[in-house]
């Protein structure tokens, strides 16, 4: 399989995995798909996920491992693929730390337009 086709397959699997998780998860934790790796023959795909809160990772992985065959059937229904790979899920530890950092960092916002200092006017503005 060429690289472009493999890239399109990864994007499609990622989209379908997100859709499947939105439909099937119990919403006790946030499961986010962070990446998909497909082998060259499209026989196996590894889906990397991050889970928040981190103490729910074990329960989320149990759910994902149990749901592999259901996800494969979901992909068969939704995607027009000549070959459906076998799926596996793994925790992505780097992205889990990054995402948890993102949520703990305070968000700063810009001042609304009406609170900003007015622009200075240059030249002769009046009189004519």
Enter the pTM of the model: 0.72
The percentage of residues in the chain with a pLDDT greater than 70, rounded to a whole number, is 73
Which positions ≥6 away from 10 have C-beta within 8 Å? 36, 37, 38, 45
The answer to whether the CB of 43 falls within 8 A of the CB of 86 is: yes
Q: Write out pLDDT tens, residues 48-106.
A: 999 988 899 999 999 999 999 999 999 999 998 888 999 999 998 776 455 545 555 44
Please give the C-alpha separations between residue 126 and each of 6, 70, 81, in angstroms, as whole numbers. Answer: 65, 73, 69
Domain residue extents for the chain: 3-106
Q: Does domain 3-106 have CATH number 3.30.300.20?
A: yes
* Three-state DSSP class for residue 117: coil
DSSP single-letter state for residue 86:
E
The answer to whether the CB of 92 falls within 8 A of the CB of 49 is: yes
Which positions ≥6 away from 17 have C-beta within 8 Å? 33, 36, 47, 71
């Amino acid at each position: 399989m060429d690289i472009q086709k493999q890239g399109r397959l990864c994007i499609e699997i990622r989209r379908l995995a997100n859709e499947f998780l939105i439909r099937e998860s119990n919403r006790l934790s946030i499961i986010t798909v962070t990446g998909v790796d497909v082998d060259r023959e499209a026989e196996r795909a590894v889906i990397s996920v991050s889970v928040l809160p981190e103490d729910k990772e074990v329960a989320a992985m149990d759910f994902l491992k149990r749901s592999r065959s259901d996800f494969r059937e979901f992909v068969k229904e939704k995607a027009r693929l000549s070959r459906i790979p076998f799926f596996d899920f793994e925790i992505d530890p780097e992205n889990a730390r990054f995402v948890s950092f993102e949520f703990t960092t305070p968000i700063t916002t810009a001042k609304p337009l009406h609170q900003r200092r007015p622009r200075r006017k240059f030249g002769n503005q009046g009189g004519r």
